[in-house]
Amino acid sequence: MPEPLASRVASWLVADPDPGDRAELAGLVAAGDVRALTERFAGPLAFGTAGLRGPLRAGPAGMNTAVVRRTTAGLGSWLQRRVTGPPVVVIGYDARRRSDHFALDAARVLAGQGARALLLPGPTPTPVLAFAVRHLSAVAGIMITASHNPASDNGYKVYLGGPVGEAGRGAQLVAPADTEIEDEIAAVGPAAAIPLADGWTRLDASIVTAYVEGAVRAVDTVPPVDGPPLRIAYTPLHGVGADVLEAVFTRAGLPVPVTVVDQREPDPDFPTAPFPNPEEPGVLDAVLALGERVGADLVLANDPDADRCAAAVGGRVLTGDEIGLLLADHVLRARPGPVATTVVSSSALVELARDHGVPCTRTLTGFKWIMRADPGLVFGYEEALGYAMAPDLVRDKDGITAALALARAAQREKRAGRTLLDVLDDLHRRIGVFATGQVSVRLDDLAAVGAAMRRLRTSPPDRVAGRPVTAVRDLLTGAVDGPDGLAGLPPADVLLLELDGGARVVARPSGTEPKLKIYLQAVTDRETVAAIGPAAARRHARTELDALRDGAAALMGVPGPAGGP
């Protein structure tokens, strides 16, 4: 074993407070497994798009007791420099392996620093933790979750409080706070020497009840009218969403959804969905089959921490952008106001906002940016199934309020003998069809991804799939002027190619894997929709989208479409 690595491993072993993690590392040392040890000591986990996230394993590049304690100690030190008196921090956790232990570790570290640590009553959805930060006027929140990652992972999200009226109050942290906290973490001494205390508080179920009541008030701005019963099929994908979602639906006077029995209870092994991301092929098969058996008007799915929501109607799985358009329409009917989405999501929200006469901001990828778009934000979404129906309640994506709003919209349409697919037809007639998809190009390593982005910047194409490139907008250099809500974005490694006819290609690195992600959009304008009808217009847009996929794949030098939506 190289001496620098051996020295780091030895130092970590001495300082690791967890016997199981020490035994894991000691076993790798005894086996001489240099590759596994190199992976575990490749570097500390860093705050990414949604906090820290990594495999459950020993060492600084994994999620483990030492990392959680050091991270919490660094966060606590950073908070204490910025508040008067003991910081109030709320801590939540999901049902993944070790989540409860990590949450307790975080509470004990904060208590050891003199902070007021408030632990949620049990495994709960991420939106409940985000709600609690604002509801309890906490200065920060910690959520132990890996969201929709595989069972082998866990994670650590940080939310920050702030003054009432501040756009980022209760949202996930952004720069420069993230790097400042990472500097504090780096300055923390050995994990085993971090003081712990048991002066933390376990909250009772009233905090969940407050979320449930607030969710119904926020979404049901127009009193529901009686009508034919709505049939809904649902799955929480072995996560923690079912109890809270059912409580919200019951409070709202809606029938409790019929749930996939084998996926209802939390299970950290995710036995029927090894990759429990509703966007992944096959993950929704069980709930779609249930929906067909019970004649469901609407099929819903949350990811394991219930901050995302997928939906299907009439056996058709809706895209994240289609759901975003439906939910935006539902919100803007009742309370017009500022909306926001990301640079990689559909431009349809920009057009719908223009139709309603409200501002629409486009942000960098991630809800930490969407939630800071406007203090008066009424709705925000990103194409990866994340929706903020009630930003004043939860300053983050929330799959439970999204599910409630979709159910209310479906109920409204059922009274009129229609479905949400009819609403999409109406919207397409108003603003046109915006078909979106993705190509993921896997390269050899992160350096190759950087080189590919540099090539695109240095020699952007004149045409993609036969369509002229009308504008190149580089977010890394701030070249984002225009009337479509992009002005003022911080620098980011994102390149936008605007094409003739409203089509678009957006390239960015994945950030966590050696992948280049390319987001595509093809548009059929509303004049064409009026001439040929919504169904034909959608087929036309999908054909154009397929051509863009081929063009994007050729642009990156791969033989054919390298990925799908």
Q: Tell me where in the chain the CATH 3.30.310.50 domain(s) lie.
A: 432-555
For the segment 482-497, the average pLDDT, to the nearest whole number, is 74
Q: Letter for the amino acid at 61? A: A
Shortest CA distance to 217 belongs to which of 334, 109, 313? 334
Q: How far apart are CA 423 and CA 326, in angstroms?
A: 7
Q: How far apart are CA 520 and CA 506, in angstroms?
A: 7
The pLDDT confidence band at residue 562, using thresholds 50, 70 and 90, is very low
Burial 17-42 (b: 16+ CB within 10 A, else e): bbeebbebbeebbeeeeeebbeebbe
What pLDDT is recorded for position 557? 66
**How does the average pLDDT of the chain come out, rounded?**
92
Q: What's the DSSP call for residue 61?
A: T
pLDDT top residue among 559 and 433: 433
Q: Is the dihedral of CA 289, 290, 296, 299 positive or negative?
A: negative
What pLDDT is recorded for position 486? 62
Q: Letter for the amino acid at 122? A: G
The pLDDT confidence band at residue 563, using thresholds 50, 70 and 90, is very low
- Confidence check: pLDDT of 509 > 90: no
For the segment 330-349, the average pLDDT, to the nearest whole number, is 94
CATH of 209-218+230-271+278-429, one of 3.30.70.20, 2.70.70.10, 3.40.30.10, 3.40.120.10: 3.40.120.10
The pLDDT confidence band at residue 422, using thresholds 50, 70 and 90, is very high
Q: Tell me where in the chain the CATH 3.40.120.10 domain(s) lie.
A: 3-204, 209-218+230-271+278-429
- Confidence check: pLDDT of 488 > 70: no
The pLDDT confidence band at residue 479, using thresholds 50, 70 and 90, is low
For the segment 262-279, the average pLDDT, to the nearest whole number, is 94
Degrees, nearest 5: CA angle 327-511-126: 45
The pLDDT confidence band at residue 164, using thresholds 50, 70 and 90, is confident
Query: CA neighbours within 13 Å on the CB side: how many for 173?
Result: 26
Specify the CATH architecture of the domain 432-555. 2-Layer Sandwich (3.30)
What pLDDT is recorded for position 353? 96
- Confidence check: pLDDT of 561 > 60: no
How do residues 122-150 score in pLDDT, each as one tens digit?
A: 999 999 999 999 999 999 999 999 999 99
The pLDDT confidence band at residue 440, using thresholds 50, 70 and 90, is confident
- Confidence check: pLDDT of 371 > 90: yes
The pLDDT confidence band at residue 513, using thresholds 50, 70 and 90, is low
Query: CA neighbours within 13 Å on the CB side: how many for 428?
Result: 27
From residue 240, alpha-carbon distances to 72, 108, 205, 237, 329 in Å are 24, 24, 15, 9, 28
How do residues 522-533 score in pLDDT, each as one tens digit?
A: 999 999 999 999
CATH class for the domain made up of 3-204: alpha beta
The pLDDT confidence band at residue 97, using thresholds 50, 70 and 90, is very high
- Confidence check: pLDDT of 558 > 60: no
pTM equals 0.93
Phi, psi angle pair for 162, to nearest 5°: 150, 180
Q: How far apart are CA 313 and CA 343, in angstroms?
A: 27
List active site positions: 147
What pLDDT is recorded for position 446? 73
How do residues 22-53 score in pLDDT, each as one tens digit?
A: 999 999 999 999 999 999 999 898 887 668 99
pLDDT top residue among 473 and 510: 473
Could you write out the DSSP letters of every residue in 242-289?
HHHHHHHHHHTTPPPPEE-HHHHS--TT-TT-SS--TTSTTTTHHHHH
